[in-house]
Amino acid sequence: DADVTQTPRNRITKTGKRIMLECSQTKGHDRMYWYRQDPGLGLRLIYYSFDVKDINKGEISDGYSVSRQAQAKFSLSLESAIPNQTALYFCATSDLFPHDEQFFGPGTRLTVL
């Protein structure tokens, strides 16, 4: 079974709709991240959380919000989706140290029409 899971895997929605992407992990890591991947731009950090009570904005947090419901769960919301939020979204987890590997979920491909 996958250590980091994301739901849904694919989603098509319309402009103005509220969307929630969910991430769950069984690795027991405290640190979780949401990234966005666009062609030619690599990955960009949206939000990250170092424990249940800690939420931090990343490079591109505008238009997004997150919720850390438990150590194992970290959700990303788009309150009012817009077409330029069409992208591939990844959740990742890591252990305590900066050099620790980040483990990624399979990604959610989101299309906003």
Where on the chain is the footprint of other proteins (CB under 8 A)?
40-45, 48, 50, 56, 58-59, 88, 90, 92, 98-99, 101-102, 104, 106-107
Nearer to other proteins, 9 or 14 (CB): 9
| Nearest-angstrom CA–CA distance, 17 and 53 | 28
Q: Smallest distance, Å, CB 28 to other proteins? A: 18
Cβ 53 to other proteins shortest distance, Å: 15
Minimal distance in Å, beta carbon 16 to other proteins?
27
Q: How far apart are CA 3 and CA 93, in angstroms?
A: 10
Q: Shortest approach of other proteins to residue 74 CB, angstroms?
A: 16
Nearer to other proteins, 37 or 71 (CB): 37
Distances (CA, A) of 53 to 15, 56, 67, 70: 31, 10, 10, 9
Please, which residue, 80 or 93, has the CB nearer to other proteins?
93
Buried/exposed code over 78-92 (b: 16+ C-beta within 10 A; e: otherwise): beebeeebebebbbb
